[in-house]
Structure 1
Amino acid sequence: MVGGQEQVGVWKAGWIRRGWGEGAPLLRKSFDLDKGVSRATAHVTALGVCELRLNGRKVGEDHLLPGWTDYRKRVYFHSYDVTERLHEGGNVLGGIVAPGWFAGYFGPFGDKGYYGHDAWFSVELVIEYLDGSSASICSDSSWKSVEGPILEADLLMGETYDARKEIDGWDRPGFDDAGWFPVSLLDAHERLPETIESYPGKPVHTVAELPAIGRSEPKPGTYVFNLGQNMVGVARLKIDVPAGTEVVMKHGEMLNPDGTVYTENLRSAKAIDRYIAKGGGEEVWQPRFTFHGFQYVEVSGLPSKPEPDAVTGVAWMSALQETSTFECSNEKVNQLFSNIRWGFRGNYIDVPTDCPQRDERLGWTGDTQMFIRSATYLADIRPFYEKWLVDLHDAQHANGGYPDMAPFMGRLGFASAAWADAGIICPYVLWQAYGATGFIRPWWTQMKKFMELIGSDDNRHNGPDAESYGDWLHFNSETPTRLIGLAYRAYDAQLMAEMAAALDAADDVAHFMNEARRGKALFRDALFEGAEIAVKTQTACALSIAMDLLDGDDLEKAKQGLVQSLEEHNGYLSTGFVGTGYLCPALTKAGRPDLAVQLLLNEEHPSWLYAVNQGATTIWERWNSWTEENGFGDVGMNSFNHYAFGSVCEWMFESLAGIKPGAPGFQTLEVAPCLTDRFDFVKASFDSLQGRVSIHWKKADAGFEIELETPVPATARLPFLTERVPAGRHLFKVLPDDEETCLLNSVAPQAILA
Structure 2
Amino acid sequence: MSSPVPHIMTDAPYRSDVVASPSPEIGWRIRTDTPDWRQAAAEVEVTRGEGVSSHRIEGRASTRIAWPFPPLEPREEASLRVRVTGADGVTGEWSEPRRVVAGFLGEGEWQAATIGLPSPAETAQPAYLRAEFEVTGPVARGTLYATALGVYQVAIDGVDVDDQVMKPGWTPYAQRTIHETTDVTALLREGRNAIGVRLAGAWATERYGFRDNARPLYADQPRFAGQVLIEYADGSSQWVRTDASWQASTGPITASGLYAGEDYDARLALVDADGRSFAQAGYAADGWERAVELEAIHAPEARVSPFVRRLDELAVREVITTPSGRTVLDFGQNLVGRLRIRVSGAAGTRLTLRHAEVLEHGELGTRPLRAAAATDHYTLSGDGIEEWEPEFTFHGFRYAEIEGWPGEFDPSAVTAVVIHSDMERTGWFEASHPLVNRLHENIVWGLRGNFLYLPTDCPQRDERLGWTGDIQVFAPTAAFLYDVRGFLDSWLRDLALEQVDGVVPFVVPNALGAARPAAAWGDAATVVPWVLHERYADVATIERQYESMKGWADALIELAGPRRLWEAMFQFGDWLDPDAPPHLPANAKTDPDIVASAYLFLSTDAVARAAALLGRDDEARQYRAIAEDVRAAFLAEYVTPAGRMMSDAQTAYAMAIVFDIVPAEQQEVLGARLAELTRLSGYRISTGFVGTPIIQDALTRTGNLETARRLLVQTENPSWLYPVTMGATTIWERWDSMLPDGSINPGEMTSFNHYALGAVGDWLHRVVAGLAPDAPGYERIRIQPRPLADFDHAWAEHLTPYGTARSGWARQDGVIRVEAVVPPNTTAVVVLPDGRELEVGSGAHEWEVTDAAPAVAASRIGMDSTLAAVIDDLEAYEAIAGVLEAVDPEKAHAFRTNTKWSSGRELGEALAMHAGPDTKREIADRLSELSARREEATADA
**Normalised-by-shorter TM-score class:** over 0.9
- Asked whether the 8 Å contact 1:107–1:362 carries over to 2, the reply is no
SS of the aligned residue for 2:821 comes to strand
Aligned to 2:748: 636
Matched ranges for 1:553-702 at <5 A: 554-629=666-741, 631-702=743-814
Candidates 335, 352, 364, aligned match of 1:248: 352
Q: Measure, in 2, the Cα distance between the counterparts of 1:371 and 1:457.
A: 26
Residue 320 of structure 1 aligns with which residue?
Answer: 423
For 2:599 and 2:419, locate their aligned partners in 1 and report how far apart those are by CA, in whole Å.
Answer: 34
Cα pair 2:472 2:524 within 8 Å, conserved: yes
**Alignment-derived partner of residue 420 in structure 1:** 522
Q: Report the TM-score when normalising by structure 1.
A: 0.94
Q: Which residue of 1 aligns with 2:112?
A: 13
Structure 1 residue 4 and structure 2 residue 28: aligned?
no
* Cα distance between partner residues in 1 of 2:17 and 2:774: 35
Contact 2:546 2:610 in 1 (8 A): no
| Change in CA separation of 1:423 and 1:413 when aligned onto 2, cut-off 3 Å | same
**Equivalent in 360, 364, 369 of residue 266 of structure 1:** 369
Q: Is the 8 A contact 1:231 1:342 kept in 2?
A: yes
CA offset at residue 304 of structure 1?
Answer: 2.9
The amino acid of 1:18's aligned partner reads L
Deviates more, 1:204-213 or 1:497-506: 497-506
The residue correspondences of 1:715-734 to structure 2 (distance < 5 A) are 715-718=829-832, 719-734=834-849
Conserved in 2, the CA contact under 8 Å of 1:2 and 1:80? Answer: no
* Deviation by residue 1:566-594 (Cα, 9 ceiling, x = unmatched): 12201222000010000111111111111
Query: What amino acid sits opposite 1:17 in the alignment?
Result: G
Deviation at 1:540, TM superposition (A): 0.3
Stretch moving more, 365-374 or 109-118: 109-118
Corresponding residue number in structure 1 for 2:177 = 75
The Cα shift of 1:700 comes to 2.1
Instruction: Assess, with a 3 A threshold, how the Cα gap between structure 1 residues 302 and 472 changes in structure 2: closer, same or farther.
Output: same
**Which whole-Å CA distance do the structure 2 matches of 1:179 and 1:333 have between them?**
58
2:42 maps to what in 1? Answer: none
Distance 1:290 1:106 in 2: 16
Classify the secondary structure of the residue corresponding to 1:309: helix
Moved more, 424-433 or 214-223: 214-223
CA contact (8 A) 1:624 1:633 kept: yes
Structure 1: distance between partners of 2:365 and 2:591: 35
Q: Which moved more, 1:610-619 or 1:127-136?
A: 127-136
Q: Secondary structure at the match of 2:322?
A: strand
Deviations 1:604-635 (A, max 9, x none): 01111110000000000000111114721034
Contact kept? 1:24, 1:150, Cα under 8 Å: yes
Q: Given residue 445 of structure 1, which amino acid in structure 2 is its aligned partner? A: E
Please tell me whether residue 40 in structure 1 is matched to residue 142 in structure 2. Answer: yes
Q: State yes or no: 1:494 paired with 2:598.
A: no
- Which one-letter code corresponds to 1:183 in the other structure? A
Worse overlay, 449-458 or 600-609: 449-458
Residue 329 (structure 2) aligned to one of 225, 229, 250: 225
Give yes or no for the alignment of 1:171 onto 2:276.
Answer: no
Amino acid paired to 1:731: E
Matched, 1:452 2:554: yes
Asked if 1 retains the 8 angstrom alpha-carbon contact of 2:152 and 2:168, the reply is yes
Matched, 1:550 2:550: no
Q: Per-residue deviation at 1:666? A: 0.4
Partner of 2:240: 137
- Give 1:743's aligned residue: none
Q: How big is the alpha-carbon RMSD for the aligned residues of Structure 1 and Structure 2?
A: 1.9
Aligned length: 733
> Structure 2 CA distance, aligned partners of 1:61 and 1:461?
52
Are 1:108 and 2:220 counterparts? no
Q: Is the 8 A contact 1:533 1:557 kept in 2?
A: no
Conserved? CA contact 1:107–1:361, under 8 Å: no
CA contact (8 A) 2:357 2:399 kept: yes
Q: Is the 8 A contact 2:116 2:222 kept in 1?
A: yes
Where 1:621 maps in the other structure, the secondary structure is: coil
Q: 1:195/1:557 Cα in 2 relative to 1: closer, same or farther (>3 Å)?
A: farther
Aligned to 1:713: 827
Query: Secondary structure of 1:30's partner?
Result: strand
**Partners of 1:480 and 1:445 in 2: how far apart?**
30
Give the CA deviation at 1:682: 0.7
Extract unaligned runs of 5+ from structure 2. 1-15, 21-102, 272-276, 580-587, 855-941
* 8 Å CA contact 1:2, 1:79 repeated in 2: no
The answer to whether the 8 A contact 2:564-2:629 is kept is: no
- What is the 5 A alignment of 1:499-518? 499-518=610-629
The separation in 1 between residues aligned to 2:853 and 2:114, in whole angstroms, is 76
CA distance in 2 between counterparts of 1:107 and 1:554 reads 45
- Is the deviation greater in 620-629 or in 418-427? 620-629
Inter-partner Cα distance in structure 2 for 1:193 and 1:416: 32
Code of the aligned partner of 1:16: I
| Shift in CA distance, 96/534, structure 1 to aligned 2, threshold 3 Å | same
Structure 1 residue 678 displacement after superposition = 1.8
Residue number in structure 2 paired with 1:393: 496
Which residue, 484, 501, 507 being the options, matches 1:405? 507
On the 8 A contact 2:575/2:688 being kept in 1, the answer is: yes
Query: Secondary structure of the equivalent of 1:581?
Result: helix
Query: 1:180 aligned to 2:296?
Result: no
2:463 to 342, 360, 366: 360
SS at structure 2 position matched to 1:335:
helix
Q: Shift of the alpha carbon at 1:369?
A: 0.4
The code of the aligned residue for 1:60 comes to D
1:206 CA displacement: 1.0
Alpha-carbon offset, residue 219 of structure 1: 5.7
| Aligned-pair CA distance for 1:17 | 1.2
Amino acid corresponding to residue 222 of structure 2 in structure 1: A
Report the 3-state secondary structure (helix = DSSP H, G, I; strand = E; otherwise coil) of the residue aligned with 1:385. Answer: helix
The 1:552/1:41 distance shift into structure 2, 3 A limit, reads closer
* Corresponding position: 1:528 with 2:639: yes
Q: CA deviation at 1:466?
A: 2.4
Question: What does 1:271-290 correspond to in 2, within 5 Å?
Answer: 271-290=374-393
Q: Find the partner of 1:339 among 405, 424, 442.
A: 442
- Deviation per CA, 1:343-387: give whole Å up to 9, x if none: 000000111000000000000000010100100001000110121
Structure 1 portions without partners, runs of 5+? 740-754
Matched-pair contact (CA < 8 Å) for 1:461–1:468: no
Deviation at 1:179?
Answer: 4.6
* Greater Rg over alpha carbons, structure: 2
Using the alignment, how far apart are the partners of 1:517 and 1:100 within structure 2?
Answer: 47
Partners of 2:709 and 2:652 in 1: how far apart? 20
Shift, 1:560, TM fit: 2.1
User: Structure 1 residue runs of 4+, over 6 Å off?
Assistant: none
In the alignment, which of 132, 155, 162 is matched to residue 53 of structure 1?
A: 155
Distance of 2:287 and 2:508 partners within structure 1: 43
Which sits farther off after the overlay, 488-497 or 538-547?
488-497
Q: Which residue of 1 aligns with 2:533?
A: 431
Asked if 1 retains the 8 angstrom alpha-carbon contact of 2:765 and 2:772, the reply is yes
Q: Which moved more, 1:476-485 or 1:259-268?
A: 476-485
Q: Does the alignment pair 1:297 with 2:297? A: no
Q: 1:403 to 1:242 in 2, by over 3 A?
A: same
Q: What is the distance in 1 between the residues matched to 2:117 and 2:450?
A: 32
Shift in alpha-carbon separation, 1:107–1:338, aligned structure 2, 3 A:
farther
Structure 2 partner of 1:480: 591
Partners in 2 of 1:543 and 1:463 — Cα distance? 15
Bigger shift: residues 151-160 or 591-600: 591-600
The AA in structure 2 aligned to 1:118 is: Q
Match of 1:351 in 2: 454
1:736 aligns with 2:835: no
Return the alpha-carbon distance in structure 1 between the equivalents of residues 728 and 324 of structure 2.
28
